[in-house]
Amino acid sequence: MADTVTDVPVVNETFNGTAENGTAKIPATPEGMLVAYSSLVIMALIPIFFGAFRSVRYHKEQKESGEKPETMTRKDAAMFPIIASCTLFGIYVVFQLFSKEYINMLLAVYFFFLGVLALAHIASPILNPLIPPLFPNQEYHLIFTEGPADKKEEVVNWKFDRKDLLVIALAGIVGLWYLMKKHWIANNLFGLAFALNGVEFLSLNSISTGCILLGGLFIYDVFWVFGTNVMVTVAKSFEAPIKLVFPQDLLEKGLAANNFAMLGLGDIVIPGIFIALLLRFDISQKKESRVYFYASFIAYFLGLLLTIVIMHFFKHAQPALLYLVPACIGAPVLVALVRGEIKALFKYEDHPEEKKEEEKSEEKKEAAPAKKQSKKEK
């Protein structure tokens, strides 16, 4: 799984503008609030939509190259909420024990490098064609291995050219802007890049695995937002581009606005990788319609709107997965029931051969102790 997402907790304090002392800020105007929430919804939909289609291309390239895919197993999906809970609570304890300024300084440097690489990956296909043909391009191939010659393993195998280096330099300028100013636009550029890369590269192999993951994170989100103050405290203290923000006072203060609504990247990436899996299922059926993808995509959009409405009604931060998980799972299941394709939906796997090989290896491991025991008995 990509480091850009899994190295941090899935922080889901959603659509909650907070003042420095922790008290809720009142939006400047209804218009400003509408602009902020609409912008967050649009920014959430963009990486899911484009990331899903990029994931199709990525999986196709993997199969053509014979590269072994890294997919989340059912055991991984079941353990993920537990690991995320431990990470979240650990970060909470660290913030209680140490100075928030020093911790965020280290995080800023860490996310600077991750953000530059993530942004460069997204920007390369857009910027490369714009570079003039006269540009003195040259290709390079960086290989970094570990171990002795007979047991050598590749750690880095990166093919790039001078155009890629130019794009990385431009992304580095955004990174420096984020490091020096922590401006919300720079934060969002990094956040969108992380989200899009996450949806593209993170892989659920089957619908059942996705249901296990979403179900576990549904409980995780509800518990840490409603049951404790841990999620909200970490979200306020954690100054890193792991959330999208948009000012509610933009119309009054312009780019210097500071009354932010926010949406955690986990509320985008986790449903996004499930929606991307549904798009790959649609394509596997070799039909022109993308009914499962669009049904779940629209359901996600409606779930996000419901989150906003309920947040305003109760005046409290909401765990978005409480509304997004039933929407994202319920929509494709309902479509499958109507179309009589429920078995095909849950039998679908991105890489069935990989799963069969894993099952065979597990059976051999289980059979080995039994054989040893039977020999002893003889």
Active site residues: 221, 267
Residue 256: both structure tokens together: 């210097």
DSSP 24: B
Please state, in angstroms and rounded to a whole number, the distance separating the CA atoms of residues 4 and 113.
Answer: 10
Residue with tokens 């989200």: 195
Amino acid at 295: A
Q: Is the dihedral of CA 35, 36, 40, 43 positive or negative?
A: positive
**CA gap 375, 378 in Å, rounded:** 5
Beta strands in the chain (DSSP E): 13-14, 139-146, 153-161, 243-247, 260-264, 318-319
Picking from 296, 298, 316, the residue whose alpha carbon sits closest to that of residue 307 is: 316
Closest CA to 157 of 56, 55, 65: 65
Residue with tokens 């059926």: 285
DSSP state letters, 216-229: HHHHHHHIIIII-S
Length in residues, the chain: 378
Structure tokens at 177: 């802007």
